[in-house]
Amino acid sequence: MDTARLFRLDGRVALITGGSRGIGRMIAEGFIAQGAKVYITSRKVADCEATASELGENCIALPHDISTVEGCRSLAALLAEREERLDILVNNAGAAWGVPFEEFDEQGWDKVMDLNLKSPFFLTQALHGLLKAAGSAQQPAKVINISSIDGQRLNPWDTYSYHASKAGLIYLTKRMAARLIRDFINVTSIAPGAFASRMNKAARDHGDQVAKAIPAGRIGSDEDMAAAAIYLASRAGDYVVGETITVDGGLVNAALGSSIDPDV
């Protein structure tokens, strides 16, 4: 058993949406360190190109807006001009919207649901041919959806469409996995907890305070996120299908709830 290469990604081609910052960038950096050629995409051209420059020659910027079905298909066409196959797709691009229940509007609902739930489906559909070209029984292609612990538990904020989109993405992962496994494409999901990013400003700006509620006693690091993604993308994760891996320091599955003392 050659365990030295279980987590290597040499020669593989990856596409990471929302790859210019936050969790997407963490994953991109990890994939590159393991030998992959990584395309990153985001709608902000300058950010995308700056990150690609910082991560080196094996990181290629492919700026694009994938908030619509047309955008997903257009990005797939651009990638097909450059590559004959796609080994790994990470559906990471996302949005959040927090407004009190009484004021929550259709714009906030649609923006979040479109990018967080609809785009992962239609981008995967648009890239199906390239993923099939990469997949085999010996080395399946991989689709990794970045969901959230907010799809598994409630947070205290008024993020109604975010909760719904991430819960939906976890179940969509299972349904897509059931269909795409026949094409040697494994679909899985990662549900991150508190990682410092523009989207998670609480973890970014108040990490020590946020850490007090986490059983592990800290927020997530870049390495924590990269490691989970590398595991699923590499040979190490080839027998994992349809699963959501929760990477949150124990908040969902190892945190004790509070109770009322009956003697009080």
At 137-148, the pLDDT tens digits run: 999 999 999 999
CB 84 within 8 A of CB 37: no
Q: What pLDDT sits at residue 1? A: 85
Instruction: Identify the pLDDT of residue 206.
Output: 59
Class of residue 167 by CB neighbours under 10 A (exposed 0-12, middle 13-18, buried 19+):
middle
Per the domain annotation, does 121 fall within a domain? Answer: yes
Q: What is the per-residue pLDDT for 208?
A: 73
35 is a domain residue: yes
Residue 83 in any domain: the answer is: yes
Q: What is the pLDDT of residue 196?
A: 83
Q: Give the pLDDT confidence score for residue 135 in this predicted structure.
A: 98
DSSP 8-state assignment for residue 6: T
Map residue 122 onto helix, strand or coil.
Answer: helix
Looking at residue 201, what is its pLDDT?
61
Task: Report, as residue numbers or ranges, the catalytic residues.
Answer: 162
In a domain, 257, yes or no: no
Q: Do 41 and 75 contact (CB within 8 A), yes or no? A: yes
Residue 236 in any domain: the answer is yes
| Domain boundaries, position 188 | 13-247
* Low-confidence residues of the chain: pLDDT under 50: none
Number of domains comprising the chain: 1
